[in-house]
Amino acid sequence: MTIYYRHHPFYGEQGKLVRRLRRYTTDSVVIQLRGEVQVAIPGWMLDPVVCQQLRDEAPPRLAIAAFLALRQLLDSQPLLTRVVAASRDRASQHTGGDDARSHQPATPTANVAVRPSRSLGPVA
């Protein structure tokens, strides 16, 4: 099995099928790559025909105005607003919730490599 999705970190790598995962509407697979690394990916990323048909586009397809209109619509829904507010109230009442946490500014995290970098080859 080869990963054909060109934006995946393991693009072009081959592996063997470990198991299939069927969840909700998409099927995923777990494949074992070299070095005993196992990754779970959507099954379509292993299909060369599907991945070949994917195109990169420079301009975005959705305007920011569309996202702002969606935010306004969601904010105008009274039931949704009440559910979110109630959820926040419950979270702060539990021991260990926001009230129990220190309100100091977060410290920056260190950049730690999860796996060694590798060359992705020439960019097409």
A 10 A CB-CB count for 75 gives 10
Which whole number is the average pLDDT over 47-75?
Answer: 89
- pLDDT at residue 31 tops 90: yes
Q: What is the pLDDT of residue 89?
A: 67
Region 89-113: mean pLDDT is 52
pLDDT in tens, 65-75: 999 999 999 88
CA dihedral 112, 9, 37, 30 (to 10 degrees): 130
Percent with pLDDT over 70 in the chain: 64
State if pTM tops 0.85: no
In the chain, where are the structural domains located?
1-56, 64-93
Residue 28: phi, psi to the nearest 5? Answer: -120, 165
| pLDDT-wise least confident of 6-20, 50-64, 87-101 | 87-101
Q: How high is the pLDDT of residue 11?
A: 94
Q: In residues, how long is the chain?
A: 124
* pLDDT score at 44: 92
